Structure 1
Amino acid sequence: MTPELSPERDSLDCFPALLDRVLVLTGPTASGKTQLALRVAEALTDRSVTRDETAPKALAKTAGPSIEIISLDSIAVYRQMDIGTAKPSAEEQRRVVHHLIDVVQPDHEYSVAEYLTAAHRCVEEIWARGNRPMFVGGTPMYLKAILRGFDPGPPADETFRSSVMEDVKRYGIEALRQRLQQVDPLSAARIDASDVRRMIRALEFARHVGTPISHRQHQFDVERSPEEGLVFTLQTPRAVLHRRIAARVERMFAAGLVDEIRRLKQNFAELSKTARTAVGYREVLESSEFAQWQSLPDNEPKLTEPDWSVVAEQILFHTRRLARRQETWFRSFGEMRGIATHTPAESAKANGVPTDDKKAGRDASVEMTARPIEQLVDEMTNVIVNHPIWKQAR
């Protein structure tokens, strides 16, 4: 069922920040968010149960809240997009309650406002059950909206956007920037000179609201201290991320990524822009190899499957670039509590943690040792159970 915008919410209303009501676990792609979130949720559930070894198991009493996970991923909302999104598996979703996964079809352009409407509703319902919501994922725009609030502005005006795009084709991007400079100089200074989409949105906002978007959204740039919230970000060495990303890309192709995309093209006349430009999907969809593969009838034996190595390299490159962009975004949030997933090898040796010296010698950037996940779980749960968000009355 597709979440609808709340009928009582005016399209120009702002979504308030949720920093005081939620837990957040974020980090770059392939940093290990899913597994850590599951372990933390299960650990907190264990802590919240009063155990009386002499009483029947059925009489064990829950003394505190449990965690319910809300996906913080702009692609995981799409059904039938499983292999390329690294969604939690069905078994993982049975271990801990999950929300906002598989909620819309891939041909639906799911807006930030739709996501926030559904997310705020989930938060209210989870608190009403006496539990606590934990947002898990790495979509920066969603994250900022959860931490600091969001002004959705007016609905998209496709006629206006098409008209401005025609002007851009005719007169160039610099003319667009100068036009925005006259209407909203603050936005013109902030927005990258090549970001046509955001410049058009700023013009659209001013046209329909009568106030520059920069005047409406300045409150969303105010950050708060890490101690005020429970916002954790995984900090993983770049070399480790690169190895994990490479392994993930290999698994995606082995699991049938191309066949999944072929089925999407068969089932939907047009994928949404967000769906078709997602890393892993865009590279396949735009490749000549896929055009050739897609043209084969379903009942024809595919004896000469294309070589996907070039496409895989593109996905690898773009996923690494995505991880770097995410890291840059996360560093801009002062609300974060960093969770280091690795320690220097020498420090690890001193603490009796085994290291791979041969591998470390081949690549100095790999002289890091993964911390046991139990340490990460303890680090997070010890902070959470002593924080007012967790300790508030049910």
Structure 2
Amino acid sequence: MRLPPLLLQQCWFLAGPTAGGKSAVALELAQLLGAEILALDSMTLYRGLDLGTAKPTIADRASVPHHLLDILDPDQEFSVAEYLHVARDCCEDILGRGRVPLFVGGTGLYLRSVLRGVFEGPPADAEFRRQKEDQALRSGPDSLHAELARIDAPSAARLHPNDLRRVIRALEVHHLTGRTLSEQHEQGPRPPGERPQHVYWLSPPREVLYQRIDQRVNAMFAAGWLAEAEQLAKREPPLGPTARKALGYQELFDWFDRGRLEPLSTVIETIQTRTRQFSKRQLTWFRNLEECRSVEIRGDESPAAIAARLRDIAAG
């Protein structure tokens, strides 16, 4: 699936690493553009994952309409293709009201998929799925995951062994097409005439970014993140594989499972370290998308000043 070029070209995009300041800039930019914000984030889709995902506050949502937040329960799974379908509906609604869709977030896979499209695959093969489900019952889900790893290592690395639906789908796509799911997901960029013109990502100095990450993690715990994670850990039905792997939450859930043997301060340091590592992977995503334009920031500018700068860049 691909978003129609005429729709896509009316959208703006603001990406950047976690804690890089994009959310505050987006609020200012939305006011300048007459825009509404669509979350470009795989984890803020989930209800209840609030503090650890730095989800926009009630005040933020009151100042600028936000979309694609809190649309899933944390036990649900959601494909990139499903995200594209709901994003298209949101964009059409926003444009129909004379407003501008502004995608904001840090999930590189979602950004690439909106810009380039995503492979949806052949129709389901009911008999093949039944055989694989029987195999999972007999031999466990790890046997299917190992089979996928032999066929399509990139997909296996991306999927949890317990995410049986997606593992079976990846095997099914290879069975039906002879090509791996990861190969078919590698969509190239659109021709220049079909690309959106306003795709930016904020690039702060590394030392500024890392300091902001550490400060934000501390602020999340001060705001009650531990209690939020404790409630999620007790939830019935339990969290699905994707929500459970959310950055920071996974480390807390693992700590709960170990009986909280280490001090909380150790877990906090681990989350800070892994968040810094995650930010490096985000930067790699953005640099590798030729549609994206890097906008270097010092880290001491106001969000309003950066938003005005983006508007001026767009004006040429």
* CA displacement at 1:288 relative to structure 2: 4.5
Q: Would the aligned equivalents of 1:26 and 1:232 in 2 still touch at CA under 8 Å?
A: yes
Q: Does 1:314 align with 2:270?
A: yes
Identity %: 35
Q: Would the aligned equivalents of 1:223 and 1:334 in 2 still touch at CA under 8 Å?
A: no
Aligned twin of 2:73: 105
Pairing partner for 1:206 from 156, 174, 188: 174
Q: Does 1:144 align with 2:131?
A: no
Q: How has the CA–CA distance of structure 1 residues 153 and 372 changed in structure 2, closer, same or farther, with 3 Å as cutoff?
A: same
Q: Gaps (5+ residues) in structure 1? A: 1-13, 45-65, 181-187, 294-305, 343-368, 388-394
What's the CA shift string for 1:219-260, capped at 9, x where partnerless?
Answer: x22355698521010001111111111011111111111211
* CA displacement at 1:324 relative to structure 2: 0.6
Q: Would the aligned equivalents of 1:160 and 1:204 in 2 still touch at CA under 8 Å?
A: no
Q: Would the aligned equivalents of 1:38 and 1:92 in 2 still touch at CA under 8 Å?
A: yes
* CA displacement at 1:199 relative to structure 2: 8.7
Aligned twin of 2:14: 25
Distance across 2 between alignment mates of 1:243 and 1:167: 43
* CA displacement at 1:269 relative to structure 2: 2.8
SS of the equivalent of 2:199 reads strand
Q: Would the aligned equivalents of 1:112 and 1:152 in 2 still touch at CA under 8 Å?
A: no
Q: Would the aligned equivalents of 2:155 and 2:182 in 1 still touch at CA under 8 Å?
A: no
Aligned twin of 1:39: 28
What's the CA shift string for 1:303-328, capped at 9, x where partnerless?
Answer: xxx83111111111111111011001
* CA displacement at 1:380 relative to structure 2: 1.1
Higher Rg: 1
Q: Gaps (5+ residues) in structure 2? A: 160-165
Q: Would the aligned equivalents of 1:30 and 1:241 in 2 still touch at CA under 8 Å?
A: yes
The letter for the 2-side match of 1:339 is: V
What's the CA shift string for 1:79-116, capped at 9, x where partnerless?
Answer: 11111010110001110010011111111112222222
Aligned twin of 2:306: 376
Structure 2 matches for 1:166-205, cutoff 5 A? 180=151, 192=154, 195=157, 197=159, 202-205=170-173
Distance across 2 between alignment mates of 1:75 and 1:92: 18
Structure 2 matches for 1:39-118, cutoff 5 A? 39-44=28-33, 66-118=34-86
Q: Does 1:252 align with 2:220?
A: yes
Aligned twin of 1:16: 3
Aligned twin of 1:52: none
The letter for the 2-side match of 1:38 is: L
Q: Which has the higher helix share?
A: 2
Aligned twin of 2:297: 341
Q: How has the CA–CA distance of structure 1 residues 290 and 194 changed in structure 2, closer, same or farther, with 3 Å as cutoff?
A: closer
* CA displacement at 1:377 relative to structure 2: 1.6
Q: Does 1:286 align with 2:242?
A: no
Distance across 2 between alignment mates of 1:238 and 1:158: 49
* CA displacement at 1:204 relative to structure 2: 2.5
Count of aligned pairs between the two proteins: 302
Distance across 2 between alignment mates of 1:167 and 1:96: 47
What's the CA shift string for 1:206-225, capped at 9, x where partnerless?
Answer: 2245665477555x223556
The letter for the 2-side match of 1:270 is: P
Give the superposed CA RMSD. 3.3
Distance across 2 between alignment mates of 1:214 and 1:321: 23
* CA displacement at 1:340 relative to structure 2: 1.0
Pairing partner for 2:207 from 239, 247, 263: 239
SS of the equivalent of 2:200 reads strand
Distance across 2 between alignment mates of 1:170 and 1:228: 43
TM-score scaled by structure 2? 0.83
Q: Does 1:325 align with 2:281?
A: yes
Q: Would the aligned equivalents of 1:234 and 1:341 in 2 still touch at CA under 8 Å?
A: yes
Distance across 2 between alignment mates of 1:196 and 1:222: 22
Aligned twin of 2:238: 270
Distance across 1 between alignment mates of 2:207 and 2:216: 14
Aligned twin of 1:133: 101
Q: Would the aligned equivalents of 2:12 and 2:101 in 1 still touch at CA under 8 Å?
A: yes
Distance across 2 between alignment mates of 1:196 and 1:132: 33
